[in-house]
Amino acid sequence: MKKTLILCLFLCATYVVFSQRISPLSRPSDSLKTEPFINTIEQSMKFFYADYLKQSNYDSIISALKYEPKDLPTFSDEVYCQRLEEMSQRTPFHMDCNPTTLSTLKFFVDQRRQFTRIILGRAPLYFDLFKDKLAEYGLPIELRFLAVIESGLRPQIKSKAGALGLWQFMYKTGLYFGLEENSYVDERMDPDKATDAACRFLKQLYGIYGDWNLALAAYNAGPGNVNKAIVKSGNKKTYWEVRPFLPKETQGYVPNFIAAAYMLTYHAEHNIIPMEAKTHNAQLDTICLNKGVHMESVALVANWDLSEIKEFNPIYKTTFIPKSEKGRCLSGPLDKIYLVIHLEDSLYAIEKQKYGRYVAPIPPPKVLDTLIKNDSIKNLVPINQYQYYTVKAGDKINVIAQTYKVTIDELTEWNKLSSPNLYVGQSLTIKKAAVPAPVPTPKPVVTPKPVVTPKPVVTPKPPKPTPPPPPQKKYYSVKSGDNFSQVARKNNLTFEELKKLNPGINVNTVYIGQKLRIK
């Protein structure tokens, strides 16, 4: 409950701040300087997401069941039916346990283990979005499993019949629910807009049939085919009574949905460990652009891999993001969108200089190579004043500071760190040091010297070696407002290193004028 409250407060504050930044009227020109409060929120959110992504219960279940990595658990029909009944108690869906369902479920258990692993790895990117939209329309959250059997959670997948996107909309159905398509954009591939359309479609179908399984059948085959099957069945009103009269593909649709829902609910009991998730939906942010740009320009200004930009923005058919009265939006990881927001003016300057007007659909070849070599364009992008370091396991802030020849205080200020603790994967901003141009040394004026007869050289006796002086201790006098951590950072030491130099010191209480050994 406490974590949920903290997350809500952070999200509210972040929403307000970023909504203000996105507005052209309130956003300043290019700048990477922000209010300390906002930077504190952003750093806190990074820590929260890092902890949030680690939360799971499958490890504890697998450990409790004492599974070995190669174990392939199976269960009796009674266990499968009991679990399906428990699922039915938590949802308005009827997870019916019958020979057809059991046969499909066992096929998934035996033949779809790798598929389940892959889906569980993709789920963090989409399932939170699905849950929010389903809750908005008052629909069962189990409907998120429908996108699993429709597309395998791949927004760019297209069926032989022409259905496209996470929810596999046909062209005409997509238009009916307001999904735009043109030469540059296909909103059937937009996760947010397509999910919203799917929710409206499913709610409409349930309103027609009053049975979720029949609504799923109509989603797959179309209401016309379901209506014909109902008539042929003698006007029956449940899916299983109508099923024999449905198209062959639709006869397996609901059993597949139930099997997928089962596998994603009980994957730990079947010793299935999810593939590692690359990104969680909570780590994404969005900026809506008011001019057309190429993704290549975005890649340059935000130091962002082009393939990743395309991956997070499947709505665009090409790498060109066209201008729109409503504004075309760009989604991606928080840190990348943060850079685009603050360097939006530079983004448009690069776009205009390289492509001219904001309508060119196809970028010239080797755009990035050309841009990088063009010094005049480099000067337009303040981001080149910075470099970035991704924290790895075992990294310490003092070692990173020494490597880049900066101080801990500078690292703390540039990244608005509230403590010297770092987490794996954290991106640190490091300002590049200005390298002064070499000053030409004037050639000395050579004047001829008179010839002098050299005197015999007397070699002096080497002096006796003097022993090196003992290492000198160096101390820091505590000032007003100092604490133990601040003293460590000021002297390029970690908390533990300073503690070792001062054994017996109470690190929680230091007083003004107290001498702390720092060398």
Tens-place pLDDT, residues 184-223: 999 999 999 999 999 999 999 999 999 999 999 999 999 9
- Compute the Cα dihedral for 60, 62, 65, 66 and give only its sign: negative
Q: Identify which of 448, 88, 424, 478 has the alpha carbon closest to the alpha carbon of residue 276.
A: 424
Q: pLDDT value at position 402?
A: 85
The reported pLDDT for the residue numbered 405 is 84
Report d(CA 481, CA 383) in Å as an integer: 34
The confidence score (pLDDT) of residue 361 equals: 39
What are the catalytic residues?
A: 150
Other Cβ atoms within 10 Å of 278 Cβ, number:
13
pLDDT value of position 457: 53
Whole-angstrom Cα distance, residue 303 to residue 104?
47
DSSP H or E stretch at residue 82: helix 77-89
> Cα dihedral angle (118, 121, 122, 128), rounded to 10 degrees?
140
- pLDDT of 286: 93
Could you give the CA distance from residue 506 to residue 484 in angstroms, rounded to a whole number? 9
Beta strands in 201-295 (DSSP E): 284-289, 293-294
Burial class, 470, CB count within 10 angstroms (exposed 0-12 / middle 13-18 / buried 19+): exposed
Length of the chain in terms of residues written:
519
pLDDT at 489: 79
Mark the ranges of the chain whose per-residue pLDDT is less than 50: 1-6, 9-10, 13-28, 34, 52, 358-384, 434-442
Residue type, 294: H
| Contact call for residues 305 and 294 (beta carbons, < 8 A) | no
Q: What gap in Å lies between CA 516 and CA 519, rounded to an integer?
A: 9
**Angle at CA 346, nearest 5°, toward 345 and 348?**
65
Give the 3-state secondary structure of residue 181: strand
- The answer to whether 121 and 72 are in contact (CB under 8 A) is no
265-269 — which CB contacts under 8 Å span 24+ positions?
265/83, 265/87, 266/83, 267/58, 267/116, 267/120, 268/57, 268/58, 268/61, 268/62, 269/61, 269/65, 269/73, 269/75
* Measured distance CA(127)–CA(219) in Å, rounded: 20
Alpha helices (runs of H) in 90-170, residue ranges in sequence order: 99-111, 113-136, 146-151
Contact between 194 and 135 under an 8 Å Cβ cutoff? The reply is no
